[in-house]
């Protein structure tokens, strides 16, 4: 009787081990906390993971007009996670991912870090990627808008560098679940630079990032934005999904509202954080490896005096061109300021996370 009664337990153990093998194959590298987060927030169930993936794969036949160049389990899984395991929505995103690449073939020719256009953008800090994640496990991306030298980098190449960076980062299953934060610092971004942000290229960026990429963006934060960036945002608002609009925050120069959402210990000093100033070459060195070179000293014009009070002598000194490495930010620590509650109503986030 003993051996017979124990047999079901061994069978159950064997089945459990088989399920565990499946789970570790597709959830490899995930912490127990992240697995639980995926279950609670994304409806991820390891027991039916393969069935969910196969159901999305089975929909591919409905779109013969699109070349689905990759359909392995791990690849489809990131689209399911991005759409909280709603299979139809995940397939729609998968289709849009490949359709976007079909419609913009030039953008994805030589889509590698050593492509000359992408390489220049990466060296100039587009994007910046902080090494550590925030308190929710999200990766923080930085864009210092004033570093856009339009004689050197096209907007398309900057977008390509951002998309390539996201492709590299999204390979990490933890980030597929925890997502990303984007901070755009508009300090010193001139009206002339803003005039190059045409509706067509902004639409290209929105389609590439919002509609065609399997990333979860927990927030897009604007800081030090001038009035004409407010105006641009108003223009593109109709192209943004309601969910996206609810994740965009316009902070102005109010550090308090930024720190309520991203703790200072995860931010560089440019944003009032406790980390050292961000080195623009950090992410470029990661992607380019031995191919990375900081090139030559580069001259930016410092417009610090436009938003920090100086004496007239300081004003003249601060507005003069300064030689600096491309791996440095034009935004200096302490640019943003803390404000008392209610001091500047317009500096508060205009939208809140749902």
Phi/psi at 272 (nearest 5 deg)? 75, 15
Mark 147-173 as b/e (b = at least 16 C-beta within 10 Å): bbeeeebbbbbbbbbbbbbbeebbeeb
310-354 tens-digit pLDDT: 333 343 333 333 333 433 444 444 445 444 444 343 333 333 333
Confidence at residue 12, expressed as pLDDT on a 0 to 100 scale? 42
Q: What is the pLDDT along the chain (354 residues), one digit of tens a residue?
A: 444 444 344 344 444 444 444 455 788 789 999 999 999 999 999 999 999 999 999 999 999 999 999 999 999 999 999 999 999 999 999 999 999 999 999 999 999 999 999 999 999 999 999 999 999 999 999 999 999 999 999 999 999 999 999 999 999 999 999 999 999 999 999 999 999 999 899 999 999 999 999 999 999 999 999 999 999 999 899 999 999 999 999 999 988 999 999 999 999 999 999 999 999 999 999 999 887 876 543 433 322 322 322 333 343 333 333 333 433 444 444 445 444 444 343 333 333 333
258-281 tens-digit pLDDT: 999 999 999 999 999 999 999 999
| CB within 8 Å of 261: residues ≥ 6 apart | 219, 221, 249, 349, 353
- To which H or E segment does residue 250 belong? strand 248-250
Using alpha carbons, select from 273, 250, 270 the residue that is nearest to residue 132: 273
Confidence at residue 294, expressed as pLDDT on a 0 to 100 scale? 66
Confidence at residue 25, expressed as pLDDT on a 0 to 100 scale? 79
Q: Domains in the chain, start-ordered, CATH in brackets? A: 25-103 (1.10.8.20), 111-292 (3.40.525.10)
First to last CA, the chain: 58
pTM reported for the whole predicted model: 0.79
Would you say how long the chain is, in residues?
354
Q: Which 3 state secondary structure label does DSSP give 132?
A: coil
Confidence at residue 197, expressed as pLDDT on a 0 to 100 scale? 93
């Amino acid at each position: 009787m003993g051996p017979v009664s124990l047999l079901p337990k061994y069978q159950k153990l064997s089945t459990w081990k088989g399920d565990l093998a499946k789970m570790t194959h597709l959830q490899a590298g995930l912490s127990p906390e992240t697995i639980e987060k995926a279950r609670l927030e994304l409806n991820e169930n390891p027991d039916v993971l393969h069935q969910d993936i196969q159901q999305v794969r089975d929909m591919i036949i409905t779109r013969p007009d699109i070349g689905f160049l990759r359909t392995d389990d791990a690849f489809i899984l990131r689209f399911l996670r991005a759409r909280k395991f709603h299979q139809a929505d995940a397939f729609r995103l998968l289709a849009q991912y490949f359709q976007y690449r079909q419609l913009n073939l030039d953008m994805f020719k030589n889509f590698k870090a050593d492509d000359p256009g992408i390489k220049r953008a990466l060296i100039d800090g587009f994007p910046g990627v902080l090494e550590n994640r925030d308190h929710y496990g999200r990766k923080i991306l930085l864009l210092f808008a004033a570093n856009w030298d339009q004689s050197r980098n096209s907007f398309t190449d900057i977008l390509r560098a951002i998309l390539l960076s996201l492709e590299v980062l999204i390979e990490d299953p933890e980030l597929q679940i925890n997502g990303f934060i984007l901070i755009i610092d508009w300090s010193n971004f001139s009206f002339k630079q803003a005039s190059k942000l045409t509706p067509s290229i902004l639409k290209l960026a929105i389609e590439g990032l919002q509609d065609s990429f399997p990333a979860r963006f927990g927030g897009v934060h604007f800081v030090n934005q001038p009035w004409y960036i407010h105006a641009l945002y108003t223009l593109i608002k109709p192209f943004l999904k309601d969910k996206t609009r609810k994740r965009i925050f316009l902070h102005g120069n109010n550090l308090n509202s930024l720190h309520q959402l991203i703790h200072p210990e995860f931010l560089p000093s440019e944003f009032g954080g406790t980390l050292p100033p961000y080195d623009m070459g950090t992410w470029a060195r990661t992607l380019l490896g031995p191919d990375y070179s900081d090139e030559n000293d580069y001259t930016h014009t410092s417009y610090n005096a436009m938003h920090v009070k100086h004496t007239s002598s300081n004003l003249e000194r601060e507005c003069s061109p300064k030689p600096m490495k491309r791996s440095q930010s034009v935004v200096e620590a302490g640019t943003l300021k803390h404000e008392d509650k209610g001091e500047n109503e317009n500096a508060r986030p205009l939208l809140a996370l749902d």
